[in-house]
Every structure is written in C-alpha cells, then in structure tokens.
C-alpha cells in the first residue's frame, strides 16, 4: 500500500477505504476496535434492558411484574451478557485494540488477521447467546452452579455454556495478540519501564486471560456434558461433586474480575497523568501492582466458598490471600491521588470519570475486605451486599474507566471532539445514579435480603425503590453518550492531534491516525508522562 503518498486530508484510517467490505474485512486494529465498539454497545444495551426489567420487578415486594421463571432468566442473562459480552471485552477489545499499537509506536498488532478472527469469534458467540435467549434463555444465574444447572434446569444451559466457551477463544486471541505485540513491536527506545501504564495493565490482563480462560473452557465443557448427556461429573447421585464445579468456575471467574478491572485501572492511570499534566506518582509501583494483582488474583478463588462446606483451614488460607490483594489495589489508589498533588488539574469529562472511578473503586475495594473477612462473609454471602460490592467494582470501576477512556481517546478515534457540556452532564448523572442505585443495596444486603430473589419481605421495599430510582438516572446517564458520541462523529468540532496537551505517542500522530498509525516510526527517548522534558524541547519540535 502507499498510504504515505496520499493527500493529508484524505489519509486517515476512517476514510482510507469505503464500503461495507472495507470495514467487515479490515485488518486495521483501529477499525476492528470500532467494530467491537458497535458490538459491545449493542450487548451493553441488551444487558441494560434486562437490568431495567429486574429493577422494575423489584419495585414491589410481591413478585408481580413477571413470573419467577422469567425473572430468573432476566438476572441470568443480564449477568451472562454483561460479563462475557460487555465487561470482559469492553476495554481490551475496544480501547486496547485501538490504543495499544499507537501507544507503543507500532503499525498494528502483531497478528492483524487473528485480531479480525477474534472479532468474528466474539460475534459468533454472541449470536449463539442471543439465539439461546430467544429459544428460552437460561435460568441458572451466570455462575451456573451445579447440580442445578447440570441436572435440574431444563433451560438452554448447553447453548449458553457453548456461547461462553466460544467467547473465551476470542479473549484468548486478543490476549495472545497483545502479549506478542508488547514484547516484539515496541518503538525504538521504548523500554519496558517507559511503557504507559495502560500497556502494563493490558499486558497483565492478557496474561490472566491466557492462563485462566482455558480452565473456564474445560469447566464449561464438563457442564455441557453433564447437562446434555447426564455424565454426572458434578452430580452427587452419580458419585460426582457439585462443589468441584464451584472451585473450577471461580478459578477462572475470580481472575476474570481482574480481567475486567485491571484495564480500567490502566485507563485511569492515563487519565490522571494527562489531566494533572504530571508524571504518574510511583510509576514502578503502579506497574508492578498490576502484575501483583494478576498473580495474587489466581490464588483467592476459595473466598467465594466460605460457607460452601469447604474446610475452615482452606477458608483461612483463601481469606488471608484475599487480604493481600487489597494491598496492590490500595497502592494504586494512593498513587493516583498523589499524582494530583502539585499537578495542573483540569476538569474535562475524562477527568471527571477518573475522579469518579477513584471514589467508587475505593468503596468497591473496601467492601471487598468485608467479604474477605470470613466471620462477616458468613452473614453477607449471597445477599445484596455482594451484589452492591461487585457492581461498585464492575460498574463503578470498569464502566467508569471505559467511559473515561472512550471520551479521552474519542478525538483520536473519531477525529472529532465530543460536546463537553453534555458529556459533563452525563458523567454527573452516572455518578449520582450509580450511588443511588447501589448504595442502598449494601444496607438491604446487611439486613439479610438474599440475592436472586423475585419476591422479598416488605420491610426491604423502600431501599429497593431507591435502587430502582437510581437505576433510572443511571440509565439516562448511559443513554446520553450513545447519542452525543454518535452525533459528534459527523457534527463534532474537528479534533487536533493532541487536544489535551497530553504526553504519549498516540498524541503525536494525527487525529484520526493514518492507517499505519505513524508516518515515520517514532523514537522514544524519555520516560512515560515526562511533561517537563516535553516542555523543554517543545519549541524545538
């Protein structure tokens, strides 16, 4: 190809080629990121619709809006879609796909075809999931606990497990691509400890995906065999062990929590540095804390099984290891806060999301300590306290990070600025709506309301009404960006190469970037976020 010879106004990745085929068969990581953006947005909307129906049902204590069977399908499909088809791919496959090669000065990912394949594998899994949904759905909860899922549920367990199984390969392909790219394709001079922290976070996430996802795949295969052929691996009536499933499931699914949150932490490091115009505080500690979380995350799965009949001594070991994960998470929060100290802080929308993230993740992380404390977990396990906790981490953490990153890199992605006023309104709605939705759930959880309840005792109603009210505000907060970001693609103000005055290779190329990202391969001579050096030679450059 000869993209460098074309006229500059017609040489970006968006207008380099036209036609449906040029999008659907593209090998450009940036276009694939946009394909993912459309797909995850669709799944997010579907999952959000289920959440809306759940909250409507819970407005009243009687289970009066939908039948129990329908309610059980709603919360199951909400969880399956949000986790496997939105939270896991959202930041790596959309933002990571787009920004990783730009951040390291590469032309593309190491394996562009595998990248495209990963998208279609994801779509295939999604279509299978939707097909299963139309054909009756699944009612086991996203955790698929046996023997209910394997021997008792007559819903589409096998199909949905197959969808999860296939989606896993998409994750693995993306992770493999990221790992090889980070090892092999860094620009000259870009040593490991000059990498932006987003790259460290994506690298740590990719390692977790590569190591954990195969275990999920095997577990889901065993579940499918049990459900369809009644093999009895997890069926005590045939000598199987139902709790074994929980161990295998959480061996993947606890690390999966870090698959979802680590990339968001990477985004926050970028946002805090850019909007404080300051090198991130304690760079090496933040980088190593990602690796520490990735490592420790594999050793804590048993904290989901404190009341399962697991040995008390095993419980104690999982409890203490879970406590250790709190330390690298706290280190990150303290370092972000310290970065603001003596910074030059501005309050554009991405920074509002970053500050929101720090607040919400702090609460999400601290309530994780409640659950790692065994004597307390006995009471709150499987109640709304747990629901509130993981929504603070997943929604308050991952989605805040995702939206913050999407706004931050939107000028680079679309070549246009988003409308700042509406973006701030939406960030505020998300923050307020989020607290109103999920804070009451901590209280109702400690009161003892179990999760996955279609009907509940009347004294829990007020807190549930607050939660539903909050969900409406939150829903509006999520709807706005879909509207104004779409609008801005055509009508937004044209974005300069570096609208934030941020340091980073992605801001050195045009907005939107050319197909192969950089006209000349950049050479890196400084640490990440080195604002002082940039100022010194800005006149020269």
- Which residues in the 218-237 window bind another protein by CB under 8 A? 236-237
| Binds another protein by CB under 8 A, chosen from 40, 91, 363, 485 | 363
Instruction: Give the residue with the Cβ less far from another protein, 14 or 292.
Output: 292
SS3 494: strand
Work out which of 203, 283, 409, 500 binds another protein, going by CB under 8 A: 283
> In angstroms, rounded to a whole number, what is the distance separating the alpha carbons of residues 416 and 100?
20
Q: Nearer to another protein by C-beta: 111 or 285? A: 285
Taking CB under 8 A as the rule, does residue 130 contact another protein? no
Per-residue contact flags (x/-) with another protein for residues 290 to 309, judged by CB under 8 A: ----------------xxxx
Does position 243 bind another protein by CB under 8 A?
Answer: yes
Measured between alpha carbons, how far is 373 from 212 in angstroms, rounded to an integer? Answer: 25
The least distance separating another protein from the CB of residue 145, rounded to whole angstroms, comes to 6
Instruction: Mark the segment that binds another protein (CB under 8 A) among 167-175, 343-351, 391-399, 403-411.
Output: 343-351
Piece of 66-74, 83-91, 157-165, 249-257 that binds another protein (CB under 8 A): 66-74
Determine the interface stretch with another protein among 94-102, 127-135, 216-224, 528-536 (rule: CB under 8 A): 528-536
Check: CB of residue 356 under 8 Å from CB of residue 268.
no
457-483 as b/e, with b when 16 or more CB fall inside 10 Å?
eeebbebbebbbbbbebbbebbebbee
Residue 270 makes contact with another protein by CB under 8 A = no
Shortest gap between Cβ of 329 and another protein (angstroms)? Answer: 9
7 backbone dihedrals φ, ψ, rounded to 5°: -65, 140
Single out the residue of 64, 420, 459, 537 in contact with another protein (rule: CB under 8 A): 459
Of the candidate spans 212-220, 380-388, 427-435, 475-483, the one that interacts with another protein by CB under 8 A turns out to be 380-388
Distance CA 342, CA 347 (A): 15
Measured between alpha carbons, how far is residue 99 from residues 11, 202, 529 in Å?
Answer: 18, 11, 16
Using CB under 8 A, which of 323, 469, 489, 497 touches another protein? 323
Q: Render the burial of 42-60: b for 16+ CB within 10 Å, e for the rest.
A: ebbebbbebbbbbbebbeb
Which residues between 433 and 452 bind another protein (CB under 8 A)? 443, 446-448, 450-452
Q: Does residue 358 interact with another protein by CB under 8 A? A: yes
Indicate whether 465 belongs to the interface with another protein (CB under 8 A): yes
Report the alpha-carbon distance of residue 322 to residue 376 in Å, rounded.
Answer: 14
Which of these, 130, 202, 207, 222, lies nearest to 167 by C-alpha position?
Answer: 130
Q: Give the total of residues touching another protein (CB under 8 A).
A: 106
> Which CB, 460 or 507, lies closer to another protein?
460
Is 362 a binding residue for another protein by CB under 8 A? The answer is yes
Using a 10 angstrom Cβ sphere, with 0-12 exposed, 13-18 middle and 19 or more buried, the burial of residue 343 is: middle
The stretch near another protein (CB under 8 A) out of 29-37, 61-69, 188-196, 420-428 is: 61-69
Q: Decide: is 339 part of the binding site for another protein (CB under 8 A).
A: yes
* Residue with smaller CB distance to another protein, 188 or 457: 457
Closest CA to 115 of 185, 164, 193: 185
- The whole-angstrom distance between residue 481's C-alpha and the CA centroid of its chain comes to 17
- Which of the residues 387 through 406 are near another protein (CB under 8 A)? none
The gap from C-alpha 486 to its chain's centroid, in whole angstroms, comes to 21
Contact 156, 136 (CB under 8 A): yes
Q: Which of 3, 45, 337, 472 binds another protein (CB under 8 A)?
A: 337
């Amino acid at each position: 190809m000869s993209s460098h010879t074309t006229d500059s106004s017609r040489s970006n990745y968006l207008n380099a080629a036209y036609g449906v085929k040029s999008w659907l068969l593209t090998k450009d990581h940036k276009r694939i990121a946009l394909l993912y953006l459309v797909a995850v947005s669709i799944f997010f909307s579907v999952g959000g619709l289920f959440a809306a129906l759940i909250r409507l049902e819970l407005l009243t204590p009687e289970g009066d809006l939908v039948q129990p069977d329908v309610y059980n399908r709603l919360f199951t499909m909400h969880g399956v879609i949000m986790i496997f088809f939105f939270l896991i791919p959202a930041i790596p496959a959309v933002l990571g796909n787009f920004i990783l090669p730009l951040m390291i000065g590469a032309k593309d990912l190491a394996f562009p075809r595998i990248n495209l394949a990963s998208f279609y594998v994801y779509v295939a899994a999604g279509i299978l999931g939707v097909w299963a949904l139309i054909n009756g759905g699944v009612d086991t909860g996203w955790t698929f606990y046996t023997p209910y899922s394997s021997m008792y549920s007559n819903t589409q367990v096998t199909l949905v497990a197959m969808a999860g199984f296939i989606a896993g390969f998409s994750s693995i392909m993306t992770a493999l691509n990221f790992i090889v790219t980070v090892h092999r394709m860094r620009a000259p001079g870009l040593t490991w400890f000059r990498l932006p922290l987003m790259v460290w976070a994506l690298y740590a996430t990719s390692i977790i995906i590569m190591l954990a996802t195969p275990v999920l795949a095997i577990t889901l295969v065993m579940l499918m065999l049990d459900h369809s052929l009644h093999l009895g691996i997890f069926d005590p009536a045939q000598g199987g062990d139902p709790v074994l499933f929980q161990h295998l499931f959480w061996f993947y699914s606890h690390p999966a929590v870090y698959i979802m949150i680590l990339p968001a932490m990477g985004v926050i490091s970028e946002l805090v540095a850019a909007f404080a115009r300051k090198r991130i505080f304690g760079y090496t500690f933040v980088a190593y804390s990602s690796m520490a979380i990735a490592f420790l995350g594999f050793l804590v799965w048993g904290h989901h099984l404190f009341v399962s009949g697991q040995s008390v001594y095993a419980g104690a070991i999982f409890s203490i290891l879970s406590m250790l994960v709190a330390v690298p998470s706290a280190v990150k929060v303290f370092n972000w806060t310290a970065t603001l100290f003596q910074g030059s802080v501005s309050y554009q929308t991405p920074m509002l999301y970053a500050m929101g993230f720090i607040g919400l993740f702090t609460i999400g992380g601290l309530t994780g300590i409640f659950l790692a404390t065994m004597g307390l977990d006995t009471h709150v396990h499987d109640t709304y306290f747990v629901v509130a906790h993981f929504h603070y981490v997943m929604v308050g953490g991952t989605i805040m990070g995702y939206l913050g990153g999407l706004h931050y890199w939107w000028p680079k992605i679309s070549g246009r600025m988003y409308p700042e006023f509406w973006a701030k309104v939406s960030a505020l709605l998300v923050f307020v709506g989020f607290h109103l939705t999920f804070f009451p759930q901590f209280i109702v959880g400690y009161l003892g309301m179990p999760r996955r309840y279609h009907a509940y005792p009347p004294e829990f109603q007020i807190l549930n009404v607050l939660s539903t009210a909050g969900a409406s505000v939150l829903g509006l907060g999520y709807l706005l960006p879909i509207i104004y970001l779409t609008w801005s693609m055509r009508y937004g103000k044209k974005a300069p190469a570096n609208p934030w005055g941020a340091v980073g290779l992605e801001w050195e190329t045009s907005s939107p970037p050319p197909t192969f990202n950089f006209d000349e391969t950049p050479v890196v001579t400084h640490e990440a976020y080195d604002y002082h050096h940039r100022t010194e030679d800005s006149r020269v450059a």
